[in-house]
Amino acid sequence: MRILDGIFEKVDYKGNSSILLHINRETDNYSPHWHTAVEIIMPINNIYTIIIGKTTYILQEGDILVIPPGELHELKAPNDGKRRILLFDYSIVSNLKGLTNIFNVLNQPRLITKQNNCDTHAKLSQMYDEIAEEYFSNNTLKEAAIYSIIIKMFVVLGRKFMNTESIFPDVKISKQKEYIEKFNLIFDYINEHYMDEISLDTIASVAGFSKFHFSRLFKRFTDMSFYDYLNQRRVKEAERLLLNPTISITEVAMRSGFSSISTFNRVFKSFKECTPTEFKNLYQRRNRVKSSIHMLNTR
């Protein structure tokens, strides 16, 4: 069952789980929406259409599309067909040591097909099969087993999309290794200090680059500017904090690294198409409705 309020969808995980996998056979379309979960879609029979921003993805059978958390998207189904749709809590894996840089991989949707990368597709398809087998089993510790497979999937995606040979094809291999080490340092620094004031001068000095050289390399590595990346990271943290009813909007802004409420509102709305207050109210209202339904069902 969808829990939708406006364009925000709260994933209806079952029980105490933070993973939802369903075999979707619906012919109804899903209107534009977003959620805090990562979503991985793979058609089993027939095509499936996903619209994200100005891009339309027409998935063929077996194609795999990874949709980042917070990405506004629309789903269009054919008259018949079947597809796997996996949703899971991104925060559980993103905070693991060594996986902080995966944020760079999930800064945009990632489409994996047999045509664009046969080897990567084969690995991810096998892992998706393993996830489905665990999810529908009665195995003990199956959620832990599924997250271990998800981590492997992220490693495969990271090695594909953070491949320095494709990002810096005109740079010697020895220099590529140096760059990847420096960018690992940069992403770790951002992840630890996004709530602080980080200037372009500061982050460039952490990497040991000039501002110009750093900006050019960062754009090539992440496909976005440093400040856009930093704001995106701050908005992700703000989303998490806004789900806590005891934390005020002002405190969320400060703890996320925004220097003023006006800046917080402007940047948050540019990413989410709603203000922080609207986001918080949507989530809290939905929780109240869900709680009321639960109380009625238990009477």
CATH of the domain at 216: 1.10.10.60
Q: Do 53 and 184 fall within a single domain?
A: no
Q: What is the pLDDT of residues 48-74, one digit of tens each?
A: 999 987 789 999 999 999 998 878 889
pTM above the 0.85 mark? Answer: no
- Indicate which CATH number applies to the domain containing 75: 2.60.120.280
Q: Do 197 and 277 fall within a single domain?
A: yes
Give me the mean pLDDT over the 199-219 stretch: 91
Q: Do 278 and 211 fall within a single domain?
A: yes
Q: Do 29 and 156 fall within a single domain?
A: yes
Handedness of CA 187, 188, 191, 192 (dihedral sign): negative
Q: Do 151 and 172 fall within a single domain?
A: no
Q: Do 45 and 178 fall within a single domain?
A: no
Q: Do 234 and 247 fall within a single domain?
A: yes
138: in domain: yes
Q: Do 147 and 196 fall within a single domain?
A: no
75: in domain: yes
Q: Do 10 and 140 fall within a single domain?
A: yes
* Number of domains the chain contains: 2
246: in domain: yes
Is the separation of the CB atoms in 18 and 42 below 8 Å?
no
Instruction: Answer yes or no: is pLDDT of 291 > 60.
Output: no
pLDDT attached to residue 162? 66
pLDDT attached to residue 293? 39
Instruction: Answer yes or no: is pLDDT of 273 > 70.
Output: yes
The parent domain of residue 228 ranges over 167-282
Least confident of 110-124, 166-180, 196-210: 166-180
289: in domain: no
3-class SS letters over 187-251: HHHHHHHCCCCCCHHHHHHHHCCCHHHHHHHHHHHHCCCHHHHHHHHHHHHHHHHHCCCCCCHHH
CA–CA dist 39, 68 (Å, integer):
7
pLDDT attached to residue 160? 79
Instruction: Answer yes or no: is pLDDT of 82 > 70.
Output: yes
297: in domain: no
pLDDT attached to residue 268? 92
Instruction: Decide which of 140, 162, 184 is a domain's last residue.
Output: 162
Instruction: Answer yes or no: is pLDDT of 290 > 50.
Output: no
Q: Do 116 and 11 fall within a single domain?
A: yes
pLDDT attached to residue 183? 82
Q: Do 148 and 20 fall within a single domain?
A: yes
CA–CA dist 231, 257 (Å, integer):
9
- Give residue 157's identity as a one-letter amino acid code: L
Both tokens assigned to 26? 């619906």
Q: Do 22 and 157 fall within a single domain?
A: yes
The H or E element containing residue 150 is helix 142-161
Identify which has the larger pLDDT, 100 or 280: 280
Which residues lie across from 86 on neighbouring strands?
21, 40
290: in domain: no
CA–CA dist 94, 116 (Å, integer):
26
Instruction: Categorize the per-residue pLDDT at 289 as very low, low, confident or very high, splitting at 50, 70 and 90.
Output: very low
Q: What is the pLDDT of residues 99-157, one digit of tens each?
A: 666 666 777 899 999 998 899 999 999 999 999 999 999 999 999 999 999 999 988 98
pLDDT attached to residue 69? 85
**For the chain, percent of residues with pLDDT exceeding 70:** 84
- Per the document, the length of the chain is 299
118: in domain: yes
- Give residue 169's identity as a one-letter amino acid code: P
pLDDT attached to residue 38? 93
Average pLDDT, the chain: 85
294: in domain: no
Give me the mean pLDDT over the 70-79 stretch: 90
CA–CA dist 64, 155 (Å, integer):
16
CA–CA dist 10, 166 (Å, integer):
37
Identify which has the larger pLDDT, 24 or 31: 24
